[in-house]
Amino acid sequence: MAKKPSAHATKPKPWTEMATHLVDVAMGRKPADLVVRNGRWVNVHSGEIIAGTDIAIAGGRFAYCGPNASHAIGQGTKVVDAGGRYLVPGLCDAHMHVESGMVTVTEFCRAVIPHGTTSMFIDPHEIANVLGLPGVRLMHDEAVAMPINVHVQMPSCVPSAPGLEHAGAELTVADVAEAMTWENIIGLGEVMNFPGVVANDPVMSGEIAATVKAGKTVGGHYASRDLGLPFHGYVAGGPEDDHEGTRAEDAIARVRQGMKAMLRLGSAWYDVALQIKAVTESGIDPRNFILCTDDSHSGTLVQEGHMDRVVRHAIQQGLKPVTAIQMATLNTAQHFKLEREIGSIAPGRLADLLIVSDLAAMTIDEVYARGVRLAKGGKLEIDIPAYDYPRTAKNTVKLGKKLKAGDFDIAAPKGANEVRVRVIGVIENQAPTRALEADLPVEDGLVAMDRRNDICQIALVERHRGTGGVTNAFVSGFGYMGDCAMASSVAHDAHHIICVGTNKQDMALAVNRLGEVGGGVVLFSKGKELALVEMPIAGLMSDERAEIVAAKAEKLTEAMRKMGCSLNNAYMQHSLLALVVIPELRISDVGLIDVTTFQKVDLFV
């Protein structure tokens, strides 16, 4: 079998160094490297689809876009006949976390390029919570080496909620200021500590000021439903976008305040359908809306797609195809001050181009990035060499002891036969949880689970400093009926180990197994390991190929189903149960956290 050509990540020269050459190609004085003929140009600047268009590319940039590029064809010019198919700008994911795909930046790119993604704006705050600034640098340097545009947002909140959790590292204003000097940092990642912004916390205001001073974009994250004074104070603090809205009124409020409303369709977050009504029903200007994924599971990437899936979904909600494509291309580029580089098929821009046979279905036949064809017919045509992560990025799971079933005991108040407890309630396809309450029986002085009413146990095990600490509580929504336990070292955002189970012995086995393999996600039932996805890089990412990881993840999903869990993408829901910046109730190494008041609360009501 012939070896695929290796991808060369050499970026085209800056436009300022190429302008005269592009002019010569556009004028016919010099030949183009590539000419794509007879296409239907999806022009995101004018909102038109222009038939009979030729595109000439030179030095990795568009030189001519018009009715006839024959003057740019020379002896060495490669000519591609689009045959009347659509010419679409390469798609951009405006906000995402590579680590949620369980794979490295390299493997993520391999998975999404055939789906037409040619630009990504990644926020590596997951690895930052484990390894700090050196972890961010690792992903930054890997991103630079990619054959597509992978821009990095400097994480802003590590830990995400100071005082309510303890991460593996801490980032400072000085760290943010330093990162703003790196070549590939595009701005500040989502500012999740919205109470800190409202209270003029010096760390939050200092990070935002350093970003603005550097002329870069400040990412937002306002997860509260309160659109009163706290929301207004947050916007005044400087964040320029937000992806945490779930209702049409959320999107409208953000746009009215000068923010960009980012609408996400991830593996488990379905926030486009309701919010897009702000455009389709309320007539709000669509140029202030941006599509993104936020968190995409490896199985979703391999089986369903990436930004093509989001655009397709947006069209199904009633958007015109050109409008949906604008939200995944030009709108994103303008927001990050990159309109002269990406986001459209227009002279001077990087030659990121899709040849699409069915626009509404987003059927992508060919993918070009920087003027080079990277994929055809859904298959990657290049090889992207694996990025070598150092030993310091591995062996990060430190339990401090071998856990036993007794570590998950919850002692009832003395003399109680029944107790009323707080329960974390999972909401399918949304990031927020509900703060529930339930009456549970007491057996031999210990609070018992109630799987008949879908209440099982959740535990957070400290894994950064080897303290042996375990926080125990209850969760509802997974539907587990059999004896089982699932543990994951992916636990946004501090990334301790979260274990959810109906059997304490299985819980101990699952947590200990992650200590053995250096992190990942594992499911046990009655003492037997049913599925395992190893993630040795910071306990967050696999070093295997995306399709291998996806197959292991599918085995995990099937095992969860057999245990009674029917949630859509339950692993993603599981991994967010410690996210103490999204309401209503979460678990951390500090205890049970009420995220509506940002206070620790007792398990017993």
For 554-599, how does the pLDDT look when each residue is reduced to its tens digit (9 = 90+)?
A: 999 999 999 999 998 899 899 999 999 999 999 999 999 999 999 9
Q: What does pLDDT average to over the chain?
A: 96
pLDDT higher than 80, residue 431: yes
Task: Determine the Cα–Cα distance for residues 580 and 583; give it in Å rounded to an integer.
Answer: 7
Task: Determine the Cα–Cα distance for residues 548 and 108; give it in Å rounded to an integer.
Answer: 12
Task: Determine the Cα–Cα distance for residues 93 and 112; give it in Å rounded to an integer.
Answer: 10
pLDDT higher than 70, residue 134: yes
Give me the pLDDT at residue 3, please: 47
Beta-strand (E) ranges in 29-156?
A: 34-43, 48-58, 61-66, 78-81, 86-89, 91-96, 117-122, 149-154
Calculate mean pLDDT across residues 199-220: 98
What burial letters (b/e) apply to 586-595, b meaning 16+ CB within 10 Å?
Answer: bbbbbbbbbb
Structural tokens at position 62: 């568009």
Q: 56 falls in which pLDDT band (50, 70, 90)?
A: very high
Give me the pLDDT at residue 6, please: 54
pLDDT higher than 80, residue 51: yes
Calculate mean pLDDT across residues 306-315: 98
Residue 349 contacts residue 336 (beta carbons within 8 Å): no
List, for residues 12-41, the tens digit of each pLDDT value.
999 999 999 999 999 999 999 999 999 999
Give me the pLDDT at residue 184, please: 96
Residue 588 contacts residue 164 (beta carbons within 8 Å): yes
Task: Determine the Cα–Cα distance for residues 145 and 142; give it in Å rounded to an integer.
Answer: 5
The alpha-carbon radius of gyration of the chain (Å, integer) is: 25
pLDDT higher than 80, residue 207: yes
Task: Determine the Cα–Cα distance for residues 466 and 398; give it in Å rounded to an integer.
Answer: 5
Percent of the chain with pLDDT over 70: 98
* Helix residue spans in 132-247 (DSSP H): 133-144, 173-179, 194-198, 202-213, 229-236
Peptide bond into 12 cis (omega under 30): no
Structural tokens at position 281: 């029903």
Calculate mean pLDDT across residues 517-546: 97
Task: Determine the Cα–Cα distance for residues 191 and 346; give it in Å rounded to an integer.
Answer: 33
DSSP 517: H
CA-closest candidate to residue 85, choices 367, 434, 444, 300: 367
Q: 7 falls in which pLDDT band (50, 70, 90)?
A: low
DSSP 408: G
At 380, give phi and psi (nearest 5°).
Answer: -70, 135
pLDDT higher than 70, residue 213: yes
Give me the pLDDT at residue 574, please: 96
Task: Determine the Cα–Cα distance for residues 221 and 244; give it in Å rounded to an integer.
Answer: 6
**C-alpha 15 chain-centroid distance:** 30
pLDDT higher than 50, residue 1: no
What lies within 8 Å, CB to CB, of 300 at 6+ separation is 266, 267, 309, 569
* pTM of the model as a whole: 0.93
CA-closest candidate to residue 204, choices 215, 193, 213: 193
Vertex 369: Cα angle to 537 and 296 (nearest 5): 40
Structural tokens at position 155: 């994480």
Percent of the chain with pLDDT over 90: 94
Give me the pLDDT at residue 5, please: 53
At 254, give phi and psi (nearest 5°).
Answer: -65, -45
Task: Tell how strand 520-525 and strand 528-534 pair up.
Answer: antiparallel
Vertex 533: Cα angle to 271 and 104 (nearest 5): 65
Helix, strand and coil percent figures for the chain, each rounded to 5: 30, 30, 40
Give me the pLDDT at residue 142, please: 97
Largest CA distance in the chain: 92
Q: 316 falls in which pLDDT band (50, 70, 90)?
A: very high
pLDDT higher than 70, residue 265: yes
List, for residues 70-113, the tens digit of each pLDDT value.
999 999 999 999 999 999 999 999 999 999 999 999 999 999 99
At 289, give phi and psi (nearest 5°).
Answer: -115, 140
pLDDT higher than 90, residue 395: yes
Q: 4 falls in which pLDDT band (50, 70, 90)?
A: low
Calculate mean pLDDT across residues 231-240: 98
